[in-house]
Amino acid sequence: MEIKKTSKQYDVIIVGSGAGGGMATKVLSEAGLKVAVVESGPYYDPANPEQMTQLKWAWQSPRRGAGTTRPFGDFDQAYGGWDIEGEPYTQKDDTNFRWFRSRMLGGRTNHWGRISLRFGPNDFKKKSIDGLGEDWPLTYEDLKPYYDKVDKLIGVFGTKENLYNEPDGFFLPPPKPRLHELYYIKAAKKADIKVIPSRLSVITKRINNDRGVCFYCNGCARSCNVYADFSSGSCLIFPAQNAGGQIDLYVNSMVRTVETNSEGKATGVSYINKDDGNEYKLNGKVVVLAASACSSARILLNSKSKQHPNGLGNSSDLVGKYLHDSTGGDMMAFLPQLTNRKIYNEDGVGGMHVYSPWWLDNKKLDFPRGYHIEVWGGMGAPTYGTGFNVNHFNKFFGLKAGGYGDVLRSDMKKYYGSTIGFSGRGESVAMKSNYCEIDPNKVDKYGVPVLRFNYKWTDYEIKQAKHMQDTFEEIIHNMGGQPLWNKPGIESNYGLTKPGEIIHEVGTTRMGKNPKESVVDQFERMHDVENVFVVDAGPFVSQADKNPTWTIMALAWRASDHIVSEFKKQNF
Ligand SMILES: Cc1cc2nc3c(=O)[nH]c(=O)nc-3n(C[C@H](O)[C@H](O)[C@H](O)COP(=O)(O)OP(=O)(O)OC[C@H]3O[C@@H](n4cnc5c(N)ncnc54)[C@H](O)[C@@H]3O)c2cc1C
Ligand code: SF4
């Protein structure tokens, strides 16, 4: 295929516009650099009425909000999903890795859960603590100033708790717990489980004139038209454009490779324009990959040259290795005390108002890493289904289950808001044997070789999942509730989710001091190629029992500051 070259020369080309790419766009453009953002999905603005799914009623969707094209239901704001037509991925042996891709400006930040947790001091030195995996080449203290800046720029609610490994930040006021959450607090405390207000990047108090304040519509997964929740477009890229940044957005543009010269240095990227099907080349002094952990690994592995025969920056053979996702385990319960509730508007932010950070010492347990508990339930605006079969709830009172018409209607009212759910989200141990690689036998519809996944949970994660289920059982018992399905046993790894399913995949370009044992340094700069940086979750050494995005953005900001200082020294 002929490659069409553009004459434009950029200081920095950023691939991907999600959490990492958005942060790099803001910091680099505000420093005066000329930036190209190359994004494989379309332009997206949560405030555009034509793209909005927020504030729509269930009856406005032909299937009451049930999924047709969108993975989590019609109102979810993802363009893309688990399966994208013409963009397959493959699995080795009996691997069943699930790969979620949001293809749109802002990436997955348009519909993520907004749980915005800092990693704690211990999370950067897990090998020193339990001998497994590797320590990070930087400490919490190194990253703390950037977490502080992210908190202040974007806004996160929460409370100061003085918990060593759950560092406090700069918090906006949190919303109050709702009834089901009050039940959770009481039952969890009885089991000696700590419960604190959640930490979500939702604006509960005005922080500037560009963004509105949350009006509690419960709809963050639909993205917020007043920009009260964080998404990369509304909070990073648009403000950077409005501030006069020199930013060219290339949307619907799928990067195939990073291009290099005879010295092995990057010269730009080649991308396929999805609108005209042609391939183009952009020139840049620096390339910043932020296409998400697995997509960036794919681009690097596909960027082979004489100087980089094993893929760009892959002399360590570690690009794609140490892929790891959070663990997950769920349970749901019926609370008889919550039947026949007075129905009122209980909507809050689009997520939980309280949660439990990891509360135990792994040295006293038979698995090495912890998990946190997310809580859900109550009376959200009804959409498709109710999350359970109401007809069956009568069995808890020895009554006949089933019915339709008036019986069904009155059962609906009786049981509405009487359920609660728990999700454990935990840390897995990064294993070299879990990885993505290029499948030599398959290309996608653009002719780009696809990824093949190799992934197996170890006993560490399986034992952790068992602990989650034992914990949920105790909490439900303390509440006087009834579990809505059987406790999963060993035959299903105690309900452990499939790898990839929690959508926290990290580690494919891990950072470190030793170029033989890592792909990038602590500033996310490739050891092998001095003008290529990776600012998504690829550089994570370990996952922590936290969600990753706040750390992606703190690291991306730190890396971007480093790029700016290198430009100032004329090192590019
Ligand atoms: C439903 C859901 C809930 C979540 N909840 C939370 C949560 O509560 N807390 C949390 O911390 N995390 C959460 N996450 C995870 C979070 O969204 C990700 O960690 C974060 O968005 C990753 O940022 P990123 O920049 O690496 O990738 P992304 O946000 O995925 O952005 C990558 C971008 O790169 C583009 N791209 C990919 N390949 C190419 C290519 N070849 N060329 C050009 N562009 C490309 C994509 O289109 C995309 O826009 C959730 C995710 C989902 C889906
Ligand atoms: S809950 Fe608040 S932040 Fe989320 S979409 Fe609704 S108004 Fe916006």
Domain annotation covers residue 571: yes
pLDDT band, residue 1 (cuts 50/70/90): low
Q: Please choose from 249, 543, 549 the residue to mutate so as to test ligand 1's pocket, defined by most ligand atoms within 8 A of CB.
A: 549
Please list, in sequence order, all residues whose beta carbon lies within 8 angstroms of the beta carbon of residue 132, skipping any fewer than 6 positions away.
126, 368, 429, 460
The closest-lying atom of ligand 2 relative to the alpha carbon of residue 54 is 5
How far does the centroid of ligand 2 lie from the alpha carbon of residue 224, in Å? 5
Mean pLDDT of the chain: 96
Domain annotation covers residue 65: no
How far does the centroid of ligand 2 lie from the alpha carbon of residue 53, in Å? 12
DSSP-derived secondary structure letter, 295: H
Q: Please choose from 292, 353, 535, 560 the residue to mutate so as to test ligand 1's pocket, defined by most ligand atoms within 8 A of CB.
A: 292
Please say whether the beta carbons of 304 and 449 come within 8 A.
Answer: no
Q: Which two tokens stand for residue 330?
A: 């769920």
Domain annotation covers residue 443: yes
Q: What's the whole-number mean pLDDT along residues 440-454?
A: 98
* CB of 21 sitting under 6 A from ligand 1: yes
pLDDT exceeds cutoff 70 at 549: yes
Q: What share of the chain is helix, strand, coil (3-state, %, to 5)?
A: 25, 20, 55
How far does the centroid of ligand 1 lie from the alpha carbon of residue 106, in Å? 8
pLDDT band, residue 332 (cuts 50/70/90): very high
Give per-residue pLDDT as tens, 172-189: 999 999 999 999 999 999
Shortest-distance Cα residue to atom 2 of ligand 2: 214
* CB of 260 sitting under 6 A from ligand 1: no
Residue 38 shares a structural domain with residue 92: yes
% of the chain residues with pLDDT over 90:
90
Shortest-distance Cα residue to atom 13 of ligand 1: 112
Q: Which ligand is nearest to the CA of 198?
A: 1
Residue 2 shares a structural domain with residue 112: yes
Give per-residue pLDDT as tens, 283-325: 999 999 999 999 999 999 999 999 999 999 999 999 999 999 9
The Cα angle at residue 45 between residues 39 and 51, in degrees rounded to 5: 105
Q: Which ligand is nearest to the CA of 230?
A: 2
* CB of 172 sitting under 6 A from ligand 2: no
Q: Which two tokens stand for residue 481?
A: 């509730």
Residue 208 shares a structural domain with residue 306: no
Residue 209 shares a structural domain with residue 353: yes
Residue 176 shares a structural domain with residue 210: yes
Residue 364 shares a structural domain with residue 259: no
- The predicted structure's pLDDT at residue 2: 64
Domain annotation covers residue 64: no
Q: Please choose from 56, 349, 352, 353 the residue to mutate so as to test ligand 2's pocket, defined by most ligand atoms within 8 A of CB.
A: 349
Residue 490 shares a structural domain with residue 534: no
* CB of 216 sitting under 6 A from ligand 2: yes
pLDDT band, residue 423 (cuts 50/70/90): very high
- For residue 464, the enclosing domain spans 156-229+327-380+417-426+458-495
- The predicted structure's pLDDT at residue 69: 80
Shortest-distance Cα residue to atom 9 of ligand 1: 115
pLDDT band, residue 566 (cuts 50/70/90): very high
Q: What's the whole-number mean pLDDT along residues 71-95?
A: 94
* CB of 543 sitting under 6 A from ligand 1: no
pLDDT band, residue 4 (cuts 50/70/90): confident
Residue 289 shares a structural domain with residue 345: no
Please say whether the beta carbons of 350 and 380 come within 8 A.
Answer: no
- The predicted structure's pLDDT at residue 385: 61
- The predicted structure's pLDDT at residue 386: 59
The closest-lying atom of ligand 2 relative to the alpha carbon of residue 226 is 8
Shortest-distance Cα residue to atom 6 of ligand 2: 217
* CB of 15 sitting under 6 A from ligand 1: yes
* CB of 202 sitting under 6 A from ligand 2: yes
Element (H, E) at 421: strand 419-426
Q: Which two tokens stand for residue 71?
A: 């993975």
Domain annotation covers residue 391: no
Residue 275 shares a structural domain with residue 188: no
Three-state DSSP class for 175?
Answer: coil
CATH of the domain at 340: 3.30.410
Report the number of distinct structural domains present in the chain: 2
Dist CA 176 CA 68 (whole Å):
34
Q: Which two tokens stand for residue 83?
A: 């399966």
* CB of 221 sitting under 6 A from ligand 2: no
Identify the weakest region by mean pLDDT among 62-66, 209-213, 218-222, 395-399.
Answer: 62-66
Domain annotation covers residue 37: yes
* CB of 114 sitting under 6 A from ligand 1: yes
Measured CA distances, 193 to 121, 131, 328, 376, 404 (Å): 21, 26, 18, 17, 41
Domain annotation covers residue 546: yes
The candidate with the shortest Cα–Cα distance to 443, out of 271, 569, 256, 237, is: 256
How far does the centroid of ligand 1 lie from the alpha carbon of residue 18, in Å? 5
pLDDT exceeds cutoff 90 at 392: no
How far does the centroid of ligand 1 lie from the alpha carbon of residue 275, in Å? 23
Residue 85 shares a structural domain with residue 2: yes
- The predicted structure's pLDDT at residue 445: 97
Q: Which ligand is nearest to the CA of 298?
A: 1
What does DSSP say about strands 449-454 and 435-443: parallel, antiparallel, or unpaired? antiparallel
DSSP-derived secondary structure letter, 534: E
The candidate with the shortest Cα–Cα distance to 109, out of 237, 295, 211, 300, is: 237
The closest-lying atom of ligand 2 relative to the alpha carbon of residue 350 is 1
How far does the centroid of ligand 2 lie from the alpha carbon of residue 347, in Å? 10
* CB of 436 sitting under 6 A from ligand 2: no
* CB of 438 sitting under 6 A from ligand 2: no
Domain annotation covers residue 523: yes
The candidate with the shortest Cα–Cα distance to 182, out of 195, 199, 200, 171, is: 195
Q: Which amino acid is at 545?
A: D
Shortest-distance Cα residue to atom 49 of ligand 1: 107
Please say whether the beta carbons of 452 and 367 come within 8 A.
Answer: no
> What's 355-389 look like in SS3?
EECCCCCHHHCCCCCCEEEEEEECCCCCCCCCCCC
Residue 28 shares a structural domain with residue 147: yes
Length of the chain: 572
* C-beta neighbour count of 263 within 10 angstroms: 8
The closest-lying atom of ligand 1 relative to the alpha carbon of residue 107 is 49
* CB of 215 sitting under 6 A from ligand 2: yes
CATH of the domain at 530: 3.50.50.60
Residue 39 shares a structural domain with residue 120: yes
Q: Please choose from 154, 216, 346 the residue to mutate so as to test ligand 2's pocket, defined by most ligand atoms within 8 A of CB.
A: 216
